[in-house]
Structure 1
Amino acid sequence: TNIVDKLTEKVGADRYSMYVMDYGAPIGYRLALKHPERVESLIVQNGNAYTEGLAAFWDPIRAYWAEKTPERREALAGLVTLETTKFQYTDGMGDVAHISPDNWVVDQALLDRPGNKDIQLDLLGDYGSNVPLYPQFQAFFRERQPPTLIVWGKNDKIFPEPGAHPYLRDLPNAEMHILDSGHFALEDKLDMMAPLIRDFLDRKVCN
C-alpha cells in the first residue's frame, strides 16, 4: 500500500478510480483508508472485504494464520504449483477457449524463481492481516459511498460469489453484475466487462 501510495504521489494522481481484485482489493482499500478523499469510484472484481467471501479454499490458509507452524506452512505449498496456477485461470470459466495458456506458463515461470515459493507463502500468511481491517473497509464504503461497479465471476472458488453480495449492505447504490466466469473473469469476459466499465466511468466519473 505504501509503495502504491508513493507511486500515485510521484505521478501526481490526487484523484483516482480503483480497479480492485484479489490481493489488490485490500491494498486498494488500505489506500482508501489513507486518502478517502482521493477515491472517485471503485470497480470491484472478485476482491474481498467481507468474511462471507472466505470460503473453503481458505481453510488451510486460516489454519496457518491461527498457528504458523512449519507443517501448516508447507501444507500451502501446493498453491504455488503449475496445477493450481492453471486452475486459477481455467476453473469455472464460461469458455476456457478464451484463456491463453501463456497466462499460466508465464505466471509459473515467475513463481518458480529461486526463493519465490517462500515469498508467496509469506504473502499467504500476511493476507490474514487484512481480515481485522474489514470493518474499517466497510465503514469507508458506508461513510464515503463511492460510486461502485461490481463485476464478479460467480464460479470463482477462491473469492466466491457470496463475497460479492455483502457489498450492497454498505453500498446500496452499487451496480452489480454476476458473470458466468471464474477467478480471472477479465480473461474470459473482456467483451462484456470492458463496455460495463467504460459506461460506468463515463456516467460516474468522466462528466
Structure 2
Amino acid sequence: MTIHYRTVVIDGLDVFYREAGDPSAPALVLLHGFPTSSIAYQELIADLADEFHLIAPDYPGFGHSSAPAADEWDYTFDRLADVVDRLVDSLGVRRYAVYVHDYGSPVGFRLAVRHPDRITGIITQNGNAYEDGLTPFWEVLRKAWADPSAQNVEPLRTLYTREATHWQYSHGVSDASLVNPDKEALDQALLDRPGNHDIQLALFLDYRTNVERYPVWHDYLRIHQPPVLAVWGRHDEIFGPEGALAFARDVKNAEVHLLDTGHFALETHLPEIASLVRRFLRGLAV
C-alpha cells in the first residue's frame, strides 16, 4: 500500500504528515508522542491502509515539521492541537477516529472536546488521561510545575538525553530484538538539533495543563460515550496500566487490553495491535 509523505503550510509553518488509504474510507488520525514523530506509525499505517484513510502528522518541533525557536513560537499543547485541527480541516476530513500515544493523548482530547461530533472513536495506546496512570516518573515534573526555578527545571534536561530515549524504547520489553533501533536513533538526532532542547523543555512545563484538564476530558467521555479501545503496555513506567483501566469508569463499553510490553507497544506488538484496531474501526458508526 502506498504511503504519501506530504507537507502543508499552516500558520506560516511547514507541517509534515504521512497519508495513506482511500480518502473516502473511514478516517483515523494518528497522533504521536515524545520523543518521536509520525515515524512511530509507519508500519501500522501500511497495515491498515487497505481499508482506512490514515493521517499521521508531525507536530511543530518534531519530525519533519517546522521547528521555530522556543522564543519565536508558543510551544503549548493548545497550539499543537490548533495545528492538527487546521491540518485535518485542510484535508476536508469531517469525521475521524483518533489513535493517541503519549503526547498524542492531550492533543487528541483537546480535539475531542472542541469537536465531539467529529470523533467516531478513540484508540489510546499508553495515551494517558487519568491521575491513575501517572507513575513516580512524574514526580520530577510535578516539582518543576509547582516551582519552575532553575534548580527544579534543570533535572528535566535529562529527559532528552540518548540514555533517556533508549530507556523509553527498552524498558518493560522482554525481547529487545523486536525494537527497531533506527527509530530511536532518528528520534535522538532530531531531539539534538540546535534549539530543540528548549522546545521540549517548554512542552515539559506545559504538560501540567493536561493534568489540570483531566476532569474536562472525563466529562467529555461520560457525556458523549465515544467508543474507546485501550491497548497498553502493562510494564510502562511512564503511564502505568491503571491509566488504561480508568477509561472503563467513564465509558461504559470501553475495551481494555494490557500487553506484555512497555511504553512503545507498537514496536513489539504490531500485529496484535493492528488486528485490534482494525476490528475496532470496523465497528464504528461513521
Q: TM-score range by the shorter chain?
A: over 0.9
Does 2:132 correspond to 1:52?
A: yes
Instruction: Measure the CA separation in 2 of the matches of 1:17 and 1:205.
Output: 10
Deviation of 1:35 (Å): 0.5
2:97 counterpart of 1:17: yes
Q: Return the letter of the residue paired with 2:92.
A: G
Q: So what's the TM-score if we normalise by structure 2? A: 0.71
Number of aligned positions between the proteins: 206
The aligned runs of 1:18-97 (5 Å cut-off) are: 18-97=98-177
Q: Distance in 2 between matches of 1:186 and 1:172?
A: 26
Shift of 1:48: 0.9
CA displacement, residues 149-170 of structure 1 (integer Å, 9 cap, x when unaligned):
1100000001111111111000
Which SS does the other structure have where 1:61 is aligned?
helix
Aligned partners of 1:8 and 1:203: how far apart in 2? 22
Identity %: 48
In the TM superposition, what are the counterparts of 1:143-158 in structure 2 within 5 Å? 143-158=223-238
- The 10-residue stretch of structure 1 (196-205 or 31-40) with the greater mean CA deviation from structure 2: 196-205
Displacement after TM superposition at 1:174 (Å): 0.9
Greater share of residues in helix = 1
Partners of 1:44 and 1:99 in 2: how far apart? 20
Residue 134 in 1 paired to residue 244 in 2? no
Residue 94 of structure 1: how far off its partner (Å): 3.4
Higher strand share: 2
1:205 is displaced (CA, Å) by 4.0
Matched residue of 1:76: which SS?
helix
Flag the 1:169–1:99 CA change in 2: closer, same or farther, 3 A: same
Does the alignment pair 1:189 with 2:243? no
CA offsets per residue over residues 35-56 of structure 1, 9 Å max, x none?
0100001101101111111110
Question: Which consecutive unaligned segments of at least 5 residues does structure 2 have?
Answer: 1-80
Give runs of aligned pairs for residues 89-108 of structure 1, distance below 5 A.
Answer: 89-108=169-188
Shift in Å, 1:192: 0.8
Task: Report the TM-score when normalising by structure 1.
Answer: 0.97
RMSD of the alignment, in Å?
1.0
**Cα distance, 1:138–1:7 mapped onto 2, change above 3 Å:** same
Contact in 2 for aligned 1:149/1:176 (Cα 8 Å)? yes
Kept in 2, the 8 Å contact 1:85–1:104? The answer is yes
Tell me which of the two structures has the higher relative contact order, counting C-alpha pairs closer than 8 angstroms and 6 or more residues apart.
Answer: 1
Residue deviations 1:86-127 (CA, integer Å, cap 9, x gap) = 111111013211101112111111111111111111110001
Secondary structure of the residue aligned to 1:19 is: strand
- Residue type at the aligned position of 1:195: S
